[in-house]
Amino acid sequence: MPIYKIADLNIALTPRSAFVQRAMAPYLTQEQAPDLEISVSDDDIAYEKQLSGVMHNGVCESTAIFRKLCHRVLFDFNGIFLHSAVIVSAGKAYAFVAPSGTGKTTHIRLWKKVFGEDVYILNGDKPLIREIDGKFIVFGNPWQGKENYGVNGQCELAGIYLLNRAEQNSISKPTSIRIFHALIHATVFPESADGRMRVMDFFERMLTRTKVLTLNCNMQDEAAYVAKRGMEEPYED
């Protein structure tokens, strides 16, 4: 069975479709000992079709794999999926969190335009974050959103922006409740009490090492400068 290395885990998985095989190919590893095995059944694919309304077998297989992977990562490998666009700047990763359609992708494109080769997109849509030796590491993976922005790489998380669209660019310090809402809506929040506590524990630990800012931004170049400067400066209460 092929083994893929994703989020520093060796995953034994046999793709069913050419679509998934192609998407995952860059993550193939020669290592032999799997950390986990994932298999997707007809029922799993039917479930994803029903949930999303998407009828493409490959796409639904891919979503089913990702759902299972997120579950295993949360419960067995101290990690989480964060719906966000992650950019790397000066060796540190920054995640932009917002509901779909707010403009995460537009904003990270702005960073690329403004800061050029100094920054790169680690994952444009569905990065995995794991706590390893007390550090929170963001991992690129094959699930990169419709624009398919991202690389097979990893970087320590240093900051999170909660993105809002606005006329004027500004940053501010969000309340705990705002952070909480934004984060749980950006991950798979399990139904069980145990699962929910696990997610909240993870986020709490993550937040001790991560600066979180609210970023109100428009689509002009200035937005990227304001965002970057906000992270570099100390909090203003």
Partner 1 sequence: MWPKEEWRSLMKIKEGYAVRKFMDECMVLPVGHMADKKNMIIALSKTGAFIWEKLQQETTFDALLQATLDTFDVAEEIAKADLEEFIQKLRKEGLLCE
Q: Give the nearest distance from C-beta 180 to partner 1 in angstroms.
A: 5
Residue type, 139: F
Q: Which residue of 167, 177, 232, 234 would you call a contact of partner 1, by CB under 8 A?
A: 177
Contact assessment for residue 105 and residue 149, using Cβ atoms and an 8 Å cutoff: yes
Which amino acid does the sequence have at 33? A
Q: Minimum distance between the CB of residue 155 and partner 1, rounded to whole angstroms?
A: 24
CA distances from 163 to 67, 74, 136, 173, 223 (A): 25, 25, 21, 12, 11
Contact 62, 22 (CB under 8 A): no
Instruction: Tell me if 36 contacts partner 1 by CB under 8 A.
Output: no
Q: Is 179 in the site for partner 1 (CB under 8 A)?
A: yes
Smallest distance from partner 1 to CB 187, Å: 11
Q: Minimal distance in Å, beta carbon 193 to partner 1? A: 4
Options 40-48, 61-69, 89-97, 203-211: segment touching partner 1 (CB under 8 A)? 203-211
Cβ-Cβ contacts under 8 Å for 18 (sequence gap 6 or more):
58
DSSP 8-class letter at 218: -
Among 22, 113, 135, 196, binds partner 1 (CB under 8 A): 196
Tell me the DSSP string of 28-63. Answer: B------SEE----HHHHHHHHHHH----HHHHHHH
Is there binding between residue 32 and partner 1 (CB under 8 A)? no
Distance CA 77, CA 131 (A): 9
Structure tokens at 146: 């419709």
With CB under 8 A as the contact rule, the residue among 200, 211, 225, 231 that binds partner 1 is 200
Point out which span in 54-62, 138-146, 188-196, 228-236 binds partner 1 (CB under 8 A): 188-196
In the complex with partner 1, the residue whose CB is nearer, 34 or 195, is 195
Pick one of 25, 51, 90, 197: the residue that binds partner 1 (CB under 8 A): 197
Whether the CB-CB separation of 11 and 23 falls below 8 Å is answered with no
Q: Which residues would be at the binding site for partner 1 (CB under 8 A)?
A: 175-177, 179-181, 184-185, 189-193, 196-197, 200, 203-204, 207
